[in-house]
Amino acid sequence: MQTAESIGEMYRDAWSRFATGVTVITTIEPGGAVHGMTASSVTSVSLDPPLVLVVIGEERQTHGLIESTGRFGMSILDSGQTDIAKHFATPPEVRGELDSQHIGKLAGSPVIKQAIAAMDCKVSAAYKVGDHTLFIGEVEAIQVGQGDPLVWFQRQFGGFTDQNSNHGSS
Ligand SMILES: Cc1cc2nc3c(=O)[nH]c(=O)nc-3n(C[C@H](O)[C@H](O)[C@H](O)COP(=O)(O)O)c2cc1C
């Protein structure tokens, strides 16, 4: 039988094998500054109405900002945006400033420019589960762009590989 300690260690390892896309969740601070957080625990929940889920650790600054503003932007990053993902994964007290040219706006939320898709979401429900909160956001505006996704796998950023193009056509 595995101990709780060994399960705790292996839990992170097991999930590092689950490749995901990478998003930035954007919120607005009380003074009006844009705040961002890199997030991969996101998913689509419902088509009608369009609902997304984002899972946020309760110690994250983003957690309190989503609670207080009731809104967030979600930007799905392009493979060329690794630096932005790393920036917003760094603790806010040491991350410095991101060049404001990377920040755009979509309806009620800030978003990341040149992301391959972005959404403006209004929180419709929140569920505290363990040490995280599941925030459900109703999508009120969307923009869809071009490009290849940034991928997170085994604690590294990489790109998507299309198997069809690897195998040739002959
Ligand atoms: C690829 C990647 C995905 C992440 N996904 C999440 C996530 O889904 N939820 C979360 O709470 N933290 C996630 N994190 C950690 C946060 O990005 C990190 O703790 C960040 O500094 C929090 O910023 P904040 O305190 O300003 O909100 C992720 C980090 C990385 C590198």
**Domain membership flag for residue 110:** yes
Is residue 132 one of the residues assigned to a domain?
Answer: yes
The answer to whether residue 113 sits within a structural domain is yes
Q: How far is the CA of 95 from the centre of ligand 1 (A)?
A: 13
Residue 95: which pLDDT band, with cuts at 50, 70 and 90? very high
pLDDT 10s digits, 123-157: 999 999 999 999 999 999 999 999 999 999 999 99
In a domain, 14, yes or no: no
45 close to ligand 1 (CB < 6 Angstrom): no
Ligand 1 and 39: CB distance under 6 A: yes
96 in any annotated domain: yes
pTM of the model: 0.95
Instruction: Supply the range of the domain harboring residue 133.
Output: 20-147
Say how many Å lie between the CA of residue 140 and the centre of ligand 1: 24
- 17-72 per-position pLDDT tens digit: 999 999 999 999 999 999 999 999 999 999 999 999 999 999 999 999 999 999 99
Contact 138, 122 (CB under 8 A): yes
Number of domains in the chain: 1
pLDDT of 128 reads: 98
Residue with the smallest CA separation from ligand 1 atom 16 is 89
User: How high is the pLDDT of residue 166?
Assistant: 59
Is residue 61 included in any domain, yes or no? yes
CA of 91 to the centre of ligand 1 (A): 9
Residue 45 lies in a domain: yes
Measured from the Cα of 90, ligand 1's closest atom is 21
**Residue 5 forms part of a structural domain:** no
Express each pLDDT in 64-81 by its tens digit. Answer: 999 999 999 999 999 999
Q: Whose CA is nearest to atom 6 of ligand 1?
A: 39
Q: What's the confidence (pLDDT) of residue 167?
A: 54
Lowest mean pLDDT across 66-80, 95-109, 154-168 = 154-168
